């Protein structure tokens, strides 16, 4: 018997599809966003020690106290605000779980949620499962900046939540202070909640500042702010993230979290608590680490027929392939994988309706130099 689907628009994610295609054809995989270099040695040692010391059973539902305290201190160090470790910080099984929990916590049948296209592909399924409706507002197709007039026009009495992502996946675009001011004015005197996806918060380039919602009292009082240890510490497979939200929102968030995963990989929590306190230089220097990769990769791409777009933050490089092919982006990325041996991610799956004639693909540069060199060698033959 075939059940009626709750997610009629959802199939296998484009990331899984392209990674599988890369494996089948021996392509250099610059598609799915995971590093291929080592996790920090201190973190590995701390994880090993935690397991050997018997830290292998259920953690407290909200996260171990040591990690929540470390997150609170780190948040204050980065953004000048120290959240309450007991009432405002919840450790989750990755940022995707945190996004899902936040949406399910506040969105109900008939509610509308504004998302900014292109947006990460887990947003809308969470909204659908909550019984809400995603209202898609496109970002600028070239700069990927928000159009605040269009966002304001999308607000209705049914609007329950606005979702933002900075630095942005897939473009790397970032909110500036003016965006924060416009966002604050938009939400003031409304009952609209905010979900701020900040998983690339430490991967910032060219002297820019990450405008975390946690810097701004008026915004953080209505916000779920989501972060990822996997992105910061090169261990996406550990699936550990967290959410910072005011006490009333955290209470609702935790109601969902406790029946979703209940708690998160215990020995990793002890390892992250140690790593945050012992090596703050890691996250403080992460932008410089990735900027060197970005600059080197960008210089290489400029020798190919692909046109790299600006990347203010994150570890993805968008390229315009219009000088190479007239294929749509999904067909182009399949062709690039099968015929040229390099895997990229098309942009259209990030949209409800992709811009007509857009010829952009996303490449991940969170890779060893050898991986990027091998990819560029093949791209030079386009």
Reported for 229-232, long-range contacts at CB under 8 A and 24+ positions apart, including other chains, are 229/268, 229/272, 230/94, 230/95, 231/95, 231/199, 231/200, 231/202, 231/203, 231/315, 232/201, 232/202, 232/282, 232/283, 232/286
pLDDT of residue 72: 98
* 231: pLDDT strictly greater than 90: yes
Instruction: Give the length of the chain.
Output: 382
pLDDT single digits (tens) 232-245? 999 999 999 999 99
The full set of domain ranges for the chain reads 14-39+284-379, 41-282
Give the number of other CB atoms < 10 A from CB of residue 250: 24
- d(CA 32, CA 366) in angstroms, rounded, equals 10
The mean per-residue pLDDT over the stretch 205-226 comes to: 98
User: Which string of DSSP letters, residue by residue, matches 131-144?
Assistant: T-EEEEEEPPTTT-
Instruction: Please state which of the ranges 23-37, 49-63, 218-232 shows the lowest mean pLDDT.
Output: 23-37
User: Which string of DSSP letters, residue by residue, matches 87-153?
Assistant: TSEEEESSHHHHHHHHHHHH--TT-EEEEEES--TTHHHHHHHTT-EEEEEEPPTTT----HHHHHH
pLDDT bin (cut points 50, 70, 90) of residue 4 is confident
pLDDT of residue 34: 87
Cα distance between the two ends of the chain: 48
pLDDT bin (cut points 50, 70, 90) of residue 309 is very high
pLDDT bin (cut points 50, 70, 90) of residue 22 is very high
Q: Tell me whether the CATH fold assigned to 14-39+284-379 matches the one assigned to 41-282.
A: no
- d(CA 315, CA 304) in angstroms, rounded, equals 20
Q: Residue with structure tokens 């790397």?
A: 172
User: Nearest-CA neighbor of 235 among 7, 18, 46?
Assistant: 46
pLDDT bin (cut points 50, 70, 90) of residue 12 is confident
pLDDT single digits (tens) 246-288? 999 999 999 999 999 999 999 999 999 999 999 999 999 999 9
The mean per-residue pLDDT over the stretch 181-197 comes to: 98
Q: What is the CA radius of gyration of the chain?
A: 20
pLDDT of residue 190: 98
pLDDT of residue 133: 98
Cβ proximity of 358 and 307 under 8 Å: no
Q: What would the CATH number be for the domain defined by 14-39+284-379?
A: 3.90.1150.10
* 317: pLDDT strictly greater than 90: yes
The mean pLDDT of the chain is 97
Sheet holding 345-346, edge to edge: 307-308, 316-320, 360-364, 345-346
Domain 41-282, CATH among 3.40.640.10, 3.30.70.270, 3.10.310.30, 1.10.150.120: 3.40.640.10
The strand ranges marked E within the chain are 28-29, 89-92, 112-117, 133-138, 159-165, 193-197, 223-228, 241-244, 307-308, 316-320, 342-343, 345-346, 360-364
The mean per-residue pLDDT over the stretch 363-370 comes to: 97
Cβ proximity of 372 and 300 under 8 Å: yes
pLDDT of residue 10: 83
pLDDT of residue 101: 98
pLDDT of residue 150: 98
- d(CA 225, CA 212) in angstroms, rounded, equals 8
The values of phi and psi at residue 228, to 5°, are -135, 125
Predicted TM-score of the model (pTM): 0.97
């Amino acid at each position: 018997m075939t059940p009626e689907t709750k997610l009629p628009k959802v199939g296998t994610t484009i990331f899984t599809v392209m990674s599988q295609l890369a494996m089948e054809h021996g392509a250099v995989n610059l598609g799915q966003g995971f590093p291929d270099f080592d996790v920090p040695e201190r973190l590995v040692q701390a994880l090993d020690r935690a397991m050997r010391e018997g830290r292998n059973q259920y953690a407290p539902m909200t996260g171990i106290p040591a990690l929540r305290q470390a997150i609170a201190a780190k948040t204050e160090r980065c953004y000048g605000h120290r959240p309450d470790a007991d009432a405002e910080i919840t450790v989750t099984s990755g940022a995707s779980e945190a996004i899902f929990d936040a949406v399910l916590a506040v969105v109900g049948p008939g509610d509308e949620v504004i998302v900014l296209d292109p947006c990460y592909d887990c947003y809308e399924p969470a909204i659908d499962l909550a019984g809400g409706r995603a209202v898609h507002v496109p970002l600028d197709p070239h700069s990927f900046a928000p159009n605040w007039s269009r966002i304001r026009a999308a607000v209705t009495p049914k609007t329950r939540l606005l979702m933002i992502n900075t630095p942005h996946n897939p473009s790397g675009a970032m909110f500036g202070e003016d965006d924060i001011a416009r966002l604050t004015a938009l939400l003031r005197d409304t009952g609209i909640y905010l979900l701020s996806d900040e998983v690339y918060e430490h991967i910032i380039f060219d002297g820019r500042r990450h405008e975390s919602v946690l810097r701004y009292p008026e915004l953080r009082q209505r916000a779920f702010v989501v972060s990822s240890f996997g992105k910061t510490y090169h261990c996406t497979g550990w699936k550990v993230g967290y959410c910072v939200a005011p006490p009333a929102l955290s209470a609702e968030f935790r109601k969902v979290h406790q029946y979703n995963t209940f708690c998160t990989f215990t020995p990793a929590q002890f390892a992250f608590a140690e790593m945050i306190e012992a090596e703050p230089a890691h996250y403080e220097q992460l932008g410089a680490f990735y900027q060197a990769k970005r600059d080197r990769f960008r210089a290489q791409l400029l020798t190919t027929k692909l046109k790299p777009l600006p990347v203010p933050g994150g570890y993805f490089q968008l390229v315009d392939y219009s000088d190479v092919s007239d294929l749509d982006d999904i067909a182009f990325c399949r062709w690039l994988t099968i015929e040229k041996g390099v895997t990229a991610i098309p942009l259209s799956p990030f949209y409800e309706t992709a811009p007509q004639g857009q010829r952009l693909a996303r490449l991940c540069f969170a890779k060893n130099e050898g991986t990027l060199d091998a990819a560029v060698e093949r791209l030079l033959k386009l």
